[in-house]
Amino acid sequence: MEKLPDDVVLEILKYVDVGDLFACRLVCKRLERLCRSPYVWRHRYLRDEEDEDGALCPSLRIAPCLSSIVIATPAECSLVFSTRCAVAKLRVHVHAGGSLHAALVIRNQEALGRLKELDVFLFPGAGADARVLFETLAVTSGLGKVSIYGLPASLPYTSSPHDNVECVSSLGSSLRSFSWNVAIASQHTAPHYNILLDRHAATLEDVQLTSFFGAGSVFASSALTAPLLARMASLRVLACHLLPGLPVVAQCESLREVKLYVTHPQTQPDYDGAAEFLRRADQLKAVLLLYRGNYGPGDDGVDLVSALAASGRSQVESLSIGNECRDDTFPQLQPLLGALPSLPALRDLLVDVMPQELLQAITPALAPGLRSLKLRVHQRDSLPCIHSWLHLDAIKSFLLANPSLELHLLSRPKFCTIVRPCTVCSLGCQYNLWKDSDPGGDYWLTVTCKDLDH
pLDDT band at 166 (very low <50, low <70, confident <90, very high): very low
* pLDDT: which is higher, 52 or 410: 410
Q: Is the pLDDT reported for residue 407 higher than 80? A: yes
The answer to whether 219 and 211 are in contact (CB under 8 A) is yes
Q: What CA–CA distance (Å, rounded) separates 218 from 180?
A: 13
- What's the sign of the alpha-carbon dihedral 158, 163, 167, 170? positive
**pLDDT value of position 165:** 42
When pLDDT is averaged across residues 244-273 and rounded to a whole number, the result is 87
When pLDDT is averaged across residues 270-283 and rounded to a whole number, the result is 94
**pLDDT value of position 325:** 62
Q: What CA–CA distance (Å, rounded) separates 247 from 277?
A: 4
**pLDDT value of position 331:** 85
The answer to whether 372 and 408 are in contact (CB under 8 A) is yes
- DSSP three-state, residue 223: coil
- What's the sign of the alpha-carbon dihedral 137, 143, 144, 145? negative
Q: Is the pLDDT reported for residue 265 higher than 60? A: no
* Mean pLDDT rounded to a whole number for the chain: 85
Per-residue pLDDT of 348-401, as tens digits, reads 999 987 778 888 999 999 998 999 999 887 665 567 888 888 888 888 899 999
Range of weakest confidence among 14-28, 123-137, 150-164: 150-164
- Find all residues with CB under 8 Å of 361, minimum gap 6, and list them: 337, 340
Q: Is the pLDDT reported for residue 213 higher than 80? A: no
* pLDDT: which is higher, 332 or 119: 119
Range of weakest confidence among 82-96, 231-245, 293-307, 399-413: 293-307
* pLDDT: which is higher, 153 or 310: 310
pLDDT band at 18 (very low <50, low <70, confident <90, very high): confident
Q: Is the pLDDT reported for residue 6 higher than 90? A: no
**pLDDT value of position 26:** 86
- Which residue in 201, 312, 200 sits closest to 249, CA to CA? 201
Per-residue pLDDT of 27-68, as tens digits, reads 888 889 999 999 999 999 988 866 666 788 889 999 999 999
> Facing residues of 94 across strands?
73, 122
Region of residue 157 (left: phi > 0; alpha: psi -120 to 50; beta: else): beta
Question: Could you give the domains of the chain?
Answer: 1-40 (1.20.1280), 256-429 (3.80.10)
Q: Whole-model pTM above 0.85? A: yes
Per-residue pLDDT of 97-138, as tens digits, reads 999 999 999 999 999 999 999 999 999 888 778 889 998 998
Residue-wise DSSP of 71-121: EEES-S-GGGGT---EEEEEEEEE-TT-HHHHHHHHHHHHHHT---EEEEE
Query: What percent of the chain is predicted at pLDDT more than 70?
Result: 85
Identify residue 239 by its one-letter amino acid code.
A
When pLDDT is averaged across residues 136-158 and rounded to a whole number, the result is 86
CA 431, 436, 441 angle in degrees (round to 5)? 140
Residue-wise DSSP of 32-84: HHHTT-HHHHTT-EEEGGG-TT--HHHHHHH-SEEEEEEEEES-S-GGGGT--
**pLDDT value of position 309:** 92
Which helix (H) or strand (E) is 400 found in, with range? helix 393-401
